[in-house]
Chain A
Amino acid sequence: MSLSNAARVLVIEDDAAIRRVLKTNLVRHGFQVRSADTGVEGLHEFRHWHPDVLLLDLGLPDMDGIDLIREIRSHTNTPIVVLSVRGGERDKVAALDLGADDYLTKPFGVNELLARIRVALRHAARPTCGSTAVFEAGDLKVNVERRSVEVAGQEVHLTPTEYDLLGAFIRNPDKVLTDRMLLREVWGPEYGSEAHYLHVYVARLRKKIEADPQRPQHLLTEPGVGYRFVSEEI
């Protein structure tokens, strides 16, 4: 990968040690990297350097990472991967609801980090998934125009709500979707807190599209946050 078209990663992280490790790794894996240790500096860097993906620590010394996401999302769709050590999942959910694309819980492995950055970049590159006529992931095949689903060559019958839910997942492959996002997308904007509907439908969907619903390969639970539809091995 030549330097000119290498993806740009902006790291906003206040801890010097982790910043250095991230930078060394990302550079070695062919990314252009810049880093900032405060929100203000990070925002400045973001506006002038136009990174392709943003790695953002939620616990910044000068401002709340959540506010920074809100600020950035009001202008651009640049993928944001949130780094968080906070035990509470609430921050992650808030970040995702505001438009962050993914999150990594500290401590994390290097492979996991690289995979998340790649997924985020792929998202940004893909125009809209909805336009694809046929969506395939492993042995799952969805014909969007005909609203038909096949698992390992066998046609599976889905109810309209189940299909809408699956549709929401395949439009955002490999991305964490919070309960609220899914509820609004499938049930409508007035929904948001009726998570139990969602859990029931996800369980039904798993029974129909997963080979082993106890050990799902596609519809993964992100504990305390929501669900992620995995389209391939990441």
Chain B
Amino acid sequence: MREIRAWLRSHRASGYVVALGLTSIVTGAIAAIEQVADVANISMLYLLAVMASAIFFGNGPAILASVAAFLAFNFFFIEPEYTFKVANEDEWLALGLLLATGAVAGQLAAALRNRAREAGRREKEAIVMYDVVRLMGEPDLHRSLTAIAERLRAELDLAVVAVAAGTEGPVRAQADTGDSEAIALAHEAQRLPEMIMGGGQAPTAASRARPGRWIRIVPPSVSPGPQRVRHDRVRVVPVNLGDQRVGSIVLVRAVGSPQFGEAEDRLLSAVAHQLGLYLERLRLHREATEAEVLRRTDELKTALLNAVSHDLRTPLSSIIASADSLLQQDVSWTEEERRDFARAIEEEAERLNRLIGNLLNLSRIQAGTLVPEKGWYDLGALVDEVLGRLRPVTSNHRVVVDMPEDLPAISLDYVEIDEVLSNLVENAVKYSPSASEIVIRASREKCFVRVEVADRGPGIPPEALPRLFDPFYRVRKEGPTPKGTGLGLAVARGLVEAHGGRIWVENREGGGARFVFTLPLHEPEDHPMEAAMGQP
């Protein structure tokens, strides 16, 4: 269909030929009908030829068809036949009516055809615009620009469309048909545009927008030969925001394809305008994100300072006071008292060390420099070891471990997941009453392992759920708050996410909280060898 249309477009004369052909066919048909019956006003049959010419080829061929019909009817069917003479004066009237009716009907049909074509073009334009706007929704700028370029290229039947955003170090995206010459032209045009769309008029409340016009920029010293080829085929539409150039669209036509018409210009103008708005929106969004990041960083710093001032100094106070006590000259401490002070120093120093470890981990997580050193481990053994180490802490609780037998080895950083589990178990102990049950359960899902630590404490207030894993966040509530820095869960989340897993918390039926984290079962193809070895 497209070929036929192109052929018709490139052979304007063919419309007239077809108009004449149609007239001849109708003439033949009338001659055939005349043989069998005498039909009054049979000349009206010519209107078919006129209408068809008007609808398919427009105004000119329609007029030609009317005139040809007038002459043919006169020549073949009006007495005396085979002359242009008319015997009966009344026949002139009939012929005149035929000509007039043909001309008017042709005009009407042609106008209809033009309107239909215009409507079709507008619809296409609207669809393309709509598509372009939708493609701008893509979060990744480069992908979005590429999609827009491809959409324009396909729609306008071009060899290459390149979209560049930003003036300094622009982001380039390109869609092409593999025509290397056209690609080269596009790249050159981006550097040195020659035919550039300029002017144009923004819509106002009273008047519709007018697309820009093509303006030729002649670079001072370029040989005239290839230049002609280039400016014939390559066009640049600047993307402006206000008076500022924020990008450009470069278009390269395929050899032999038609020039841009008004509809294309209009479309390109509108796309360029939308693109400008889109780039501006992205810039604002980026700025807002940066501001938000800064604000969050600031908040974190403040929280960090508070934590450092309180949580680092508390153990330090005990250490200094204990050491100071031991150094008192005027007091002779009993052996037990001395040991007590020494133990306080040791324990509090340990506490400081853990806190600093958590702070360091957190800063590594926040800086994105945390890379788990993974190996293949048995999760059951890890759980056993953590529980063994935490036995002094968990001694007042009933700890239930439920690990399936067939759990495969999992790729994880032993130290980090140990820490996650320790943090969760310590939390469960801290926040649930003595003698209550703490359940540690693992289960194998389709492509990950799920580990949960469930307690029978007070659970998590709903308003705290979304922020529970934020650094330094503490649940505010009545009654004594167990000591802690508010770092444990933030660190746990960072470590689990660095493993490609997820961590969340839910309240249990019957009271208590359930902390769940997942670890992927299979490496995302980074280490196929290790993965193969890890299979039982």
Q: Interface on A for B, CB 8 Å cutoff?
A: 14-15, 17-18, 20-22, 24-25, 28-29, 37-38, 59, 61-62, 85-87, 106-111, 113
Contact = CB atoms under 8 A, between A and B. Distances in A.
A17 B309 contact: no
A18 B317 contact: yes
Given A108-B317, A110-B321, A17 B347 contact: yes
Interface in B468-486: 478-483
6 contacts: A15-B483, A62-B478, A86-B310, A87-B305, A106-B313, A106-B317
B309 A107 contact: no
A69 B151 CA distance: 73
Interface stretch (B325-333, B437-445, B518-526): B325-333
Interface string B298-324: 000000011001100111111111101
Interface stretch (B1-9, B70-78, B336-344, B458-466): B336-344
Contacts of A107: 313, 316-317, 319-321
Counting from the closest, the 8 A-B pairs by CB-CB distance are: A17-B318, A106-B317, A87-B309, A107-B320, A107-B317, A61-B481, A85-B313, A110-B324
A17 B316 contact: no
B419 interface: no
Nearest to B351: A17
A87 to B, nearest CB: 4
B344 A20 contact: yes
Interface residues of B, number: 31
B348 interface: yes
Given A37-B480, A108-B317, 11 more contacts: A15-B318, A18-B318, A24-B337, A24-B341, A25-B325, A62-B480, A85-B313, A85-B317, A107-B313, A107-B317, A111-B328
A28 B318 contact: no
Contacts of B310: 59, 85-86
B480 A109 contact: no
A24 B340 contact: yes
B483 A25 contact: no
A109 B316 CA distance: 11
A61 B347 CA distance: 21
Contacts of A21: 318, 321-322, 325, 341, 344
A24 B309 contact: no
Contact of A28 (B322, B331, B344, B481): B331
Contacts of A62: 478-481
Nearest to A39: B480
Given A17-B348, A18-B314, A62-B480, A109 B321 contact: yes
A20 B316 CA distance: 14
Contacts of A15: 314, 317-318, 483
A36 to B, nearest CB: 11
A86 B309 contact: yes
Contacts of B305: 87
Majority SS at the chain B contact face: helix
Contact of B480 (A61, A87, A108): A61
A162 B344 CA distance: 49
Q: Which of B315, B316, B328 has the most CB of A within 10 A?
A: B328
Contact of B321 (A37, A85, A86, A108): A108
Nearest to A104: B317
Interface string B214-245: 00000000000000000000000000000000
A111 B324 CA distance: 8
- Which of A18, A61, A108, A113 gathers the greatest number of chain B CB atoms within 10 Å? A18
Contacts of B318: 15, 17-18, 21
A22 B331 contact: no
Most buried by A among B309, B321, B340: B321
A18 B323 CA distance: 12
Nearest to B318: A17
Contacts of A111: 324, 328
A40 B479 CA distance: 9
B483 to A, nearest CB: 7
Contacts of A20: 340, 344
Q: In the complex, which of the residues A22, A28, A37, A108 has the most CB atoms of chain B within 10 Å of its own CB atom?
A: A28
Nearest to B310: A85
Interface in B347-377: 347-348
B347 to A, nearest CB: 7
Contacts of B478: 62
A62 B328 CA distance: 34
A22 B321 contact: yes
Contacts of A85: 309-310, 313-314, 317
Contacts of A24: 325, 337, 340-341
A93 to B, nearest CB: 17
A24 B325 CA distance: 9
Nearest to B326: A110
Of B315, B324, B347, B478, chain A has the most CB atoms within 10 Å of the CB of B324
A109 B321 CA distance: 6
A73 B321 CA distance: 29
A29 B328 CA distance: 11
B481 A25 contact: no
A38 B321 CA distance: 21
A22 B348 CA distance: 15
A28 B348 contact: no
Contacts of B481: 61-62
Given A87-B309, A106-B314, A107-B316, A38 B324 contact: no
Nearest to A113: B321
Which among A29, A38, A87, A111 has the greatest number of chain B C-beta atoms within 10 A?
A87
A29 B324 CA distance: 14
A109 B479 CA distance: 31
A111 B409 CA distance: 57
Contacts of B322: 21
A144 B305 CA distance: 48
A37 B322 CA distance: 19
B312 to A, nearest CB: 9
A38 B480 CA distance: 7
Give the residue among A20, A24, A111, A113 with the most B Cβ atoms within 10 A. A24
A52 to B, nearest CB: 21
A174 B310 CA distance: 27
Q: Which of A25, A61, A86: most chain B Cβ within 10 A?
A: A25
A111 B321 CA distance: 10
A57 B316 CA distance: 15
A109 B320 contact: yes
Nearest to B327: A110
B309 A109 contact: no
Contacts of A17: 315, 318, 344, 347-348
Contacts of B316: 106-107
A88 to B, nearest CB: 9
